Amino acid sequence: MIARVLVAVDSADDLPLVDAACRIAHEHHAALELVGGIAHAAPTVALVACPRALNHELECYSRALLSEAVDRVPPDMPVVWRHVRGCARRRLLHDADGDETKILLVGRLPWWARGRLRRRISALVMCPETAGAAPEPGVALGDGAGTLA
């Protein structure tokens, strides 16, 4: 039984995941939670631009992106959304606690999700019908994980 569906929204490429999450949440009568990441400028940006202005622009973009993701949710489906500083995908993957009642939807595994972190994630689902997915068959992750397309 799936009780919670979490979606990491870091870029416009993650918006199709919201549609897949809505289908999964509706099918399992699960709670839907959208987590938007607020990017920040790297410290080296101060050498060429105003980091405060750039951080403000990035925050506005992140808030608009999460708002667009919330607008994709059907009006009759309850949804909870929140922002986190930095990468939402990274935050959700690091906070994965092995709870088998939730599904995590992220665009793709980042380069740093290796070894122990990969084994700790119990329910990671990547939807092959989302944009940018490879048409090849999925590869099993093992340790009770979903499929990685």
The domains located in the chain, with CATH, are: 4-93+102-148 (3.40.50.620)
Q: CA dist 107 to 54, 77, 134, Å?
A: 25, 22, 12
CA pair distance 100, 72, nearest whole angstrom: 26
Cα 69 to Cα 92: distance, rounded to the nearest angstrom: 17
Cα separation, 99 vs 62, whole angstroms: 28
pTM of the model: 0.71
Question: What tens digit of pLDDT does each residue of 16-31 get?
Answer: 889 988 998 898 888 9
**For the chain, which residues score pLDDT lower than 70?**
1, 46, 48, 96-101, 107-149
Q: What's residue 113's pLDDT?
A: 57
